[in-house]
Amino acid sequence: MIHIVFICTANRCRSPMAQGIMKARWESTGRHDCVSTSMGVHGMDALPPTDLAVQVCMENGIDISKIRSRALVAEELKAADLIFVMEPFQKEYLRVFFPQCMEQLHLLGAYPDRKDSKKNIVKDPVGGTIKDYRKAFASMAGHIDRILPILQSDY
């Protein structure tokens, strides 16, 4: 069993979308041995994903409407096999406050062996249009599709 945590800022757009994408993609291969969760570095507990995040995921056959936002949970971070963030500042935040998680911490767009750079950031669509949400979804789906074979061969 592999446990993957996705982290964004508020845990209402990118990380719940990534959680849903990973679950759907992993299970589409016939495997059910992946736990995909999400949290936010500034997350408040129990808020639903934004309406546009839910809409874009539904357009792609993924229902994230039941996911609720969460602040960072130290025990879950320590137990995770992989932690993916969307932006370098989130990685830095975890480095400062959860240094014990550095080995499993990665920028999603840079995993497994790309350099952390601006082009590997998944931009926050919050406050944007449906087009911004679709772009974020496509970016995360592309990264997850790219790394899925690597993860499934390693775990």
* 20-40 residue pLDDT tens: 999 999 999 999 999 999 999
Spans of the chain, pLDDT less than 50: none
Q: What is the pLDDT of residue 118?
A: 86
**Strands 2-8, 34-40: pairing kind:** parallel
For tokens 């409407």, what's the residue?
A: 65
Please, which residues have CB within 8 angstroms of residue 149's CB and are 6 or more apart in sequence?
Answer: none
Q: What is the pLDDT of residue 151?
A: 97
Rounded Cα–Cα distance for residues 41 and 94 (Å): 8
pTM beyond 0.95, yes or no: yes
Q: What is the pLDDT of residue 117?
A: 84
Would you call the peptide bond into 112 cis, given omega within 30 degrees of 0 as the criterion?
yes
Alpha helix stretches (DSSP H) within the chain: 14-28, 51-59, 74-79, 88-97, 130-154
Please, which residues have CB within 8 angstroms of residue 37's CB and are 6 or more apart in sequence?
Answer: 3, 4, 5, 6, 19, 76
For tokens 């690597």, what's the residue?
A: 150
User: Going by CATH, does the domain composed of 2-154 fall within 3.90.180.10?
Assistant: no
